[in-house]
Structure 1
């Protein structure tokens, strides 16, 4: 559904006093009046089938209620912590569910585990007093949680990864985990990327300019890529795209097998001279290339065919999400969401989906495994007007199918 989670080394996050509850839903008005409004919207909508489909999606969640509320903040449990900002209350930035355990990572770098059975906190995952956890990844291949952290003793300059079995955390023993990728120097601009689709981990050591691919099942190294000309790597199901340093008129590209690093295709894509590349994104055999003030190009790398979308129709987005099941892709720009197919056609834009955060982070977007619903943190809608507030908004993908 989404690209792999990539975490790069940087300074710890600043603290924030804003608190966000785990779940918040709009209060429902009288059922009869609510049904009348739904029917009215369906009848006057320019796309009645689409409106009714969205209504059905919302109806599926009509009985959603807040079941439990968890709090990651507990100063008494952090009396030995030497980093003052870890003791302050900050907002939750990541929530990961693994079986009967919920993990909540705060902006400060504190991570807590809660039991869905007892509804109590099990433990904190910070293994040492100076650890700042940057991100979480649930590895379903071996039922473990991977934490990616930086440490004060290292001046927060290098990423450190640790794998802990869910069973150990359930017993309240988060220290029973073990370190990962200890041989790698993950100082900035180094990174680690977890690819759940292919079951792989990609690391980049900036110190020696080497990319390495590991098996997510047992963390064994599969192969390495040593090429100082590699500017970026994009991962798709089964393949990797290597973007090399561009020349004035073209950018060299390589497509590799994700399993063993074998080069499947090696080619050049022509560019407009002296214009920066806004992005190069890969979706299976499709390549999306956009330069500054130029049309979007959709390249089929198998048949070398190119489609173009006018620069006035397709504005450079801040983020992408690819819908592999539907052969579509989402673009995020200035709080808005749009859906496109690979013929370069706008499938739909969500008029009822105004994101709360202007600088979209796809970690805050959830799409169901069937790719029929998108759930986002949005501005609240009241009487057809956007008001100050926030809400969880559901939009339906049922009508978004593409044979292309």
Structure 2
């Protein structure tokens, strides 16, 4: 998912940007000049019934196939990384390699061909990796790290070609954005939608935009009054410090920083702003205990949604393919359109984690399916333990198409090697593998789901 923002806050894993942006065509311009997306909207597909049937078949009979361990008591040697097990917080797969990042800051790479650990990506004994990003533009993995020698206060980015990692040589990567001071509250954000990188240097209050293909700086924005920047296809929304009764806004071209629109949005006095979000020509504004406002910035047409119908969510995911957006609130997911209408409520899709941790949610590139770690159905006799289920649901209909749970009838797997001579073995039962899942990723090319848990184990589910 990836368009993500990583903050330089010493507190781990803060400031992540939520958006669905996998395999997205690059777009230019603004509003009516935004290029039409190449894929048909799922709502207009004539073969929708076949698509649903195909999805059900893809995920039918998925069960536990492999188990990888991110923990190694013998390494990597580091004076700052604990030797104890920590939970998996992020999983990324690329080119038959599975990358698993543990909360400790250790990141391990595993081969799906040999089912063995290739290497650790930590190339320095004082390096703590905070986040991962697969850059498909140049087939490389970007790691974002902090270092003990810097009191863990500054973000450092590194790009390593997948081929180097496959050879077990992560040290052959190179540093990115070395000229930038990314101390708290600085950040770096990778935007796969537009193929851009946004950095913020708090030291001099300068935002910079880089090309994700070659990391060349394109332009900078220097304004101490900019409070926040939101990115959507083709454009950036600059949110300035609010005045008493309005908030100044600017819409810029993502390609060259040209100002496309400069305007003020009226606010209720003395009311906190819950959020301001931009999606193409639609501006979403919500204040505390007020209605949701959906403003069309082309013609200033304003649509309001009653506050009792639309309550402030904990997170959004914008679906660029079909002009919809997901909201997450109190473990539930809902789908809305930009007329402020509820499109879908999901059946049997109660999220396990109360906070919307997008590392436990995957949206397919066609944006027709959502895969999540959920609470098990109350009728499931395994629910007395901590085992949840992996639910695959159709985004447009809300129907649960498939589910991986502890009572799927598959035999329990105990201490057996998956292939002769391999150090890889499955110690967990299906129920144990479904306990306390902390990260989830779906490899669409291999049709495999990878999950990580609190014990630092990664499990592979396939059919």
The TM-score normalised by the length of structure 1 is 0.86
Alignment partners' CA distance in 1, 2:351 and 2:394: 16
Residue by residue over 1:55-89, the C-alpha shift from the partner in whole angstroms, topping out at 9 and shown as x without a partner, is: 875454112222221111111123x311252x221
Give the Å deviation of 1:350.
1.2
Q: Is the 8 A contact 1:4 1:235 kept in 2?
A: no
Question: 3-state DSSP class of the match of 1:168?
Answer: helix
The answer to whether the aligner puts 1:390 opposite 2:388 as a matched pair is yes
Q: Is the 8 A contact 2:81 2:104 kept in 1?
A: no
Aligned to 1:76: 74
**Cα gap change, 1:319/1:3 in structure 2, threshold over 3 Å: closer, same or farther?**
farther
Alignment partners' CA distance in 2, 1:280 and 1:185: 27
1:283-302 matched pairs, under 5 angstroms: 283-302=279-298
Q: Is the 8 A contact 1:3 1:235 kept in 2?
A: no
Alignment partners' CA distance in 2, 1:149 and 1:95: 16
The answer to whether the aligner puts 1:241 opposite 2:237 as a matched pair is yes
The answer to whether the aligner puts 1:271 opposite 2:267 as a matched pair is yes
Aligned to 1:225: 221
Pick from 133, 137, 145 the counterpart of residue 133 of structure 2.
137
Alignment partners' CA distance in 1, 2:392 and 2:328: 16
The answer to whether the aligner puts 1:152 opposite 2:151 as a matched pair is no
**Cα gap change, 1:89/1:280 in structure 2, threshold over 3 Å: closer, same or farther?**
same
Aligned to 2:31: none
Residue by residue over 1:65-117, the C-alpha shift from the partner in whole angstroms, topping out at 9 and shown as x without a partner, is: 22221111111123x311252x2211111111111211000111100011111
**Cα gap change, 1:115/1:56 in structure 2, threshold over 3 Å: closer, same or farther?**
closer
Alignment partners' CA distance in 2, 1:110 and 1:3: 21
Alignment partners' CA distance in 2, 1:222 and 1:239: 14
Alignment partners' CA distance in 2, 1:164 and 1:73: 22
Q: Is the 8 A contact 1:319 1:362 kept in 2?
A: no
Aligned to 1:31: none
**Cα gap change, 1:365/1:322 in structure 2, threshold over 3 Å: closer, same or farther?**
same
1:303-322 matched pairs, under 5 angstroms: 303-322=299-318
Give the Å deviation of 1:12.
5.6
**Cα gap change, 1:53/1:351 in structure 2, threshold over 3 Å: closer, same or farther?**
farther
**Cα gap change, 1:304/1:297 in structure 2, threshold over 3 Å: closer, same or farther?**
same
Give the Å deviation of 1:305.
0.4
Residue by residue over 1:3-46, the C-alpha shift from the partner in whole angstroms, topping out at 9 and shown as x without a partner, is: 720000122649xxxxxxxxxxxxxxxxxxxxxxxxxxxxxxxx
Give the Å deviation of 1:53.
9.4
Alignment partners' CA distance in 1, 2:311 and 2:53: 29
Alignment partners' CA distance in 2, 1:353 and 1:272: 36
Pick from 100, 103, 113 the counterpart of residue 107 of structure 1.
103
Aligned to 1:66: 64
Q: Is the 8 A contact 1:332 1:360 kept in 2?
A: yes
Question: 3-state DSSP class of the match of 2:171?
Answer: helix
Give the Å deviation of 1:384.
7.5
Question: 3-state DSSP class of the match of 1:90?
Answer: coil
Give the Å deviation of 1:326.
1.3
Question: 3-state DSSP class of the match of 2:390?
Answer: strand
Give the superposed CA RMSD.
Answer: 2.1
The answer to whether the aligner puts 1:361 opposite 2:357 as a matched pair is yes
Pick from 332, 340, 343 the counterpart of residue 328 of structure 2.
332
Pick from 166, 172, 184 the counterpart of residue 170 of structure 1.
166
Alignment partners' CA distance in 2, 1:102 and 1:317: 32
Alignment partners' CA distance in 1, 2:359 and 2:230: 18
**Cα gap change, 1:62/1:382 in structure 2, threshold over 3 Å: closer, same or farther?**
farther
The answer to whether the aligner puts 1:350 opposite 2:349 as a matched pair is no
Give the Å deviation of 1:209.
0.4
Q: Is the 8 A contact 1:3 1:236 kept in 2?
A: no
Question: 3-state DSSP class of the match of 2:149?
Answer: helix
Give the Å deviation of 1:382.
3.9
**Cα gap change, 1:53/1:178 in structure 2, threshold over 3 Å: closer, same or farther?**
closer
Residue by residue over 1:155-208, the C-alpha shift from the partner in whole angstroms, topping out at 9 and shown as x without a partner, is: 110000000111111111000011100110100100000000100000000010
Q: Is the 8 A contact 1:366 1:376 kept in 2?
A: yes
Q: Is the 8 A contact 1:276 1:292 kept in 2?
A: yes
Q: Is the 8 A contact 1:288 1:299 kept in 2?
A: yes
Count matched residues: 362
